[in-house]
Amino acid sequence: MKYPITRPVAQLYRPAALLRVRPKTAGKYVQICNHVYAEAHGLGLLMDIFTPEQGANGLGIIDVISGGWFADRVQLNEHIGLGVVDGLCAHGYTVFALSPGSITKFTGQDMVRHIHEGIRHIKARADRFGVDRNRLGLTGASAGGHLAALAALEPRPARPQSRDPFRHYDTAVQALGLFFPPTDLLDFGGHRFDLIEIEGIPLGRLLFEDGLAHHTDHEVEERLLQLSPARRVASTPPPVLLIHGDADAIVPVSQSHKLAEAVRAAGGSAEVIEKPGGGHPWPEIRTEIEQLAGWFDSSLMA
């Protein structure tokens, strides 16, 4: 078994930066580390690109890397260790593991905007990356799934007359496959999202740069609505697959069903696969990753 490139540069400012995560992987891909897809406040926004060594199918999957709305190489290595990159590359996909930024610096709306810019960047350089800009899939797990859903369900239009060449491309994707995403922050297992505690995550920073203290209840509710993909489904959503453990103690499985119902109500197709006894995540998740890859085959190659 090969190991991925876990630390191409120093990792700063977070306890997780002290970890040396070395997930096992088949490694049948060429990995490009820290490709800059945009800048924000002078900081480079990064993605790693994984291209299959053999059998590339000319299609791309964007994997939004975020755990607890925090993105770094530790989170990326978790995705690699779970088998997301191996599974998708084995089917011939080029994987763009995109970091949208972290809750310590950016709000949820900022991070969604970053995903849109990442999609535009990939489309603008599709020939260089060897992928079809008109057949892209989007995936993510947990917080990454939440952000991916928001980006996919409210795509930004192209502006062909813009002086910025990246604006010549829209941010639509053709398929959305997610693992256990939060989707309705106004009704999160019967509670409002800002009123619960999840593993010490500063949820107020997800809503506003300065937290909740200086905002009215109405402002908080409005922002929760804006960050709830199940309440933001566009008129023509892409096909959606949701995979969720029925024993998930962090994100209730009802969150996936809420999004599926909203997509169907908007005229789209949505499927939910429940993993019996599955948590957040579960040990044998490579089986479901293979299902996800097969679903992308049927959604993007038709």
Instruction: List the chain pLDDT tens, one digit each, 302 residues.
Output: 566 777 777 777 665 555 555 678 888 999 999 999 999 999 899 999 999 999 999 999 999 999 999 998 889 998 899 999 999 999 999 999 999 999 989 999 999 999 999 999 999 999 999 999 999 999 999 999 999 999 999 999 988 888 888 888 999 999 999 999 999 999 887 777 765 566 567 778 899 988 888 889 899 899 999 999 999 997 889 999 999 999 999 999 999 999 999 999 999 999 999 999 999 999 999 999 999 999 999 999 87
Query: Burial level of 92, CB count in 10 A (0-12/13-18/19+)?
Result: middle
102: left (phi over 0), alpha (psi -120 to 50) or beta: beta
> What single letter denotes the amino acid at residue 290?
E
In the chain the domains, ranked by start, together with CATH numbers, are 25-300 (3.40.50.1820)
Check if the beta carbon of residue 80 is closer than 8 Å to that of residue 25: yes
Q: Which of 177, 301, 147 is nearest to 239 (CA)?
A: 177
Give the other-Cβ count within 10 Å of 12's Cβ. 7
136/177 Cα distance (integer angstroms): 11
The dihedral sign for the CA sequence 151, 156, 162, 168: positive
CB 68 within 8 A of CB 145: no
Residue pair 185/203 in contact (Cβ under 8 Å)? The answer is no
Give backbone dihedrals phi and psi of 193, rounded to 5 degrees, phi first. Answer: -60, -35
| Model pLDDT, residue 241 | 98
Task: Please give the pLDDT value at position 74.
Answer: 87
CA distances from 299 to 71, 78, 176, 228, 253 (A): 28, 26, 9, 25, 23
Helix (H, G, I), strand (E, B) or coil at 152: helix
- Nearest in space to 67 (alpha carbons), one of 58, 56, 76, 59: 76
Cα–Cα distance measured from residue 247 to residue 243, given in angstroms and rounded to the nearest whole number = 12
C-alpha 34, offset from chain centre: 17
Instruction: Name the strand (E) or helix (H) holding 220.
Output: helix 217-226
pTM over 0.85: yes
What is the structure's pLDDT at 98?
98
Give residue 165's pLDDT.
83
- Exposure string over 158-168, b if 16+ CB within 10 A, otherwise e: beeeeeeebbe
